[in-house]
Structure 1
Amino acid sequence: MRRFLRGIAVGIALLGASLAQAFDLEQLGAQLAKPAVVRGPFIQEKHLRALPQPLTSRGQFVLSRAHGLLWQLHSPLQQDYRIGDRGIARRTPQGWQPQPGQDVAAQQSRLFLAVLRGDHAGLADDFELQLSGDAEAWQLSLTPRSRLLQQIFSAIHIQGGALVERIELAETQGDSTLLRLPQSQVDDSLSEAERLALAP
């Protein structure tokens, strides 16, 4: 009987240790928020029901923990966007112009910023979050809570390791967007050009 009880106690202790070591949203948020700057290329595929092939765009992004996200589209056209706590702006010959905040592109941009920053608390305001995996290979599924987001997205799936590597957005109308970040690099500071571009 003692041996049996000791076995149960050991089993409970091991279970408690494994639960304590489980990878959770707090750890994921801390992991993604740690770098001061993350930059790299992106490949975005827009899958439309009416088209047999996806619309593919490519460019570079720069994420600053302090200043926000610089999204530089290189092809099929060139266009720069700045996404931060104050909203979304597009670069024009006259300077940065604020963009409407309620369209699909705006919602996607805010989502990208929150995901890349590891802002799970902000995401939890609008989505139910389900995390699986560990620090080296994790998957996060988001289900919209608000009626507005439910009208846009049916589900969002994010994958990564040390950094976010893939974001897939399924829209309610049947279209989808796949964003891949294949070669992101961590840095301690912005370049002068990046700092000026992200300055409010």
Structure 2
Amino acid sequence: MKRRVVVLMVCWPLAGFGDDGLDQVMRLLAAVPAVQGEFREEKHLAVLQEPLIATGKLYYRAPNFLRKQTLAPQPEDYEADGDWLTVETPATGRRQFDLNGYPQLRPLVEAIRATQAGDRATLERYYRLEFQGTPADWTLRLTPLAEEAARYIAAVILRGQNERITGVETLEADGDRSVMGLTVR
């Protein structure tokens, strides 16, 4: 009995050592209570020869607040807080949506929000996950599970280093795509 206790005590610190890279990255991300950064997004649309460029700020606060504030070329504000998405533009004013009523929107919000929260269970509710790399340099490809979401999104590819998301590429089902680079402060 004494020998088992000694073996258990020696091996116990190694219990989490065999976790895959995705679990390690999720733990790193989950430990970050808030993120504030700047983004530059290129939207590549089939109908345009040149990409549309937008810049702005991105905010995250655990466990479920995400705000994307576009400053240029036109102001737009997207704020996801819990189950609600608020969209504000000069043209349409302020509108609110219950994400539970929009199965095509929720997965797009959760791609960034649940990843930054380190919430693997939520990601797996909406996506098939493919992880490559190490915690120091990782890529996470999210492929929608629900047909409603797959009609709009082919995949979301997140790139990062340790506890930071450094880029988000959204591949739309119609062939359009957006590439967003993030600089976290």
- For the pair 1:38 / 2:35, whether they are aligned, the reply is yes
AA in 2 matched with 1:131 = F
Q: Distance in 1 between matches of 2:180 and 2:137?
A: 17
Per the alignment, residue 175 of structure 1 pairs with 176
Per the alignment, residue 143 of structure 1 pairs with 143
Q: Secondary structure at the match of 1:53?
A: coil
Q: Which runs of 5+ in 1 are unaligned?
A: 1-16, 186-200
Per the alignment, residue 51 of structure 1 pairs with 48
Kept in 1: contact 2:41–2:179 (CA 8 A): yes
Question: For the aligned residues, what is the CA RMSD?
Answer: 2.6
AA in 2 matched with 1:118 = G
Q: Distance in 2 between matches of 1:47 and 1:92?
A: 21
Q: What is the CA distance between 1:104 and its match in structure 2? A: 6.1
Q: TM-score, normalised by structure 2?
A: 0.78
In the superposition, relative to structure 1, how do residues 143 and 32 fare at CA in structure 2: closer, same or farther (>3 Å)?
Answer: same
Per the alignment, residue 123 of structure 2 pairs with 123
Q: Distance in 2 between matches of 1:130 and 1:139?
A: 8
From 70, 79, 87, the counterpart of 1:73: 70
Q: Secondary structure at the match of 1:139?
A: strand
Q: What is the CA distance between 1:24 and its match in structure 2? A: 3.0
Q: Distance in 2 between matches of 1:97 and 1:82?
A: 11
Q: What is the CA distance between 1:155 and its match in structure 2? A: 2.1
Per the alignment, residue 161 of structure 2 pairs with 161
Kept in 1: contact 2:103–2:149 (CA 8 A): no
Q: Which runs of 5+ in 2 are unaligned?
A: 1-13
In the superposition, relative to structure 1, how do residues 22 and 86 fare at CA in structure 2: closer, same or farther (>3 Å)?
Answer: closer
In the superposition, relative to structure 1, how do residues 75 and 103 fare at CA in structure 2: closer, same or farther (>3 Å)?
Answer: farther
In terms of Rg, which structure is larger? 1
From 3, 25, 30, the counterpart of 1:28: 25
Give per-residue Cα distances to partners, 1:12-35, cap 9 Å, x unaligned.
xxxxx9x94454332221111211
Q: What is the CA distance between 1:137 and its match in structure 2? A: 0.4
Kept in 2: contact 1:57–1:75 (CA 8 A): yes
How many residues of Structure 1 are paired with residues of Structure 2 in the alignment? 166
Kept in 1: contact 2:75–2:89 (CA 8 A): no
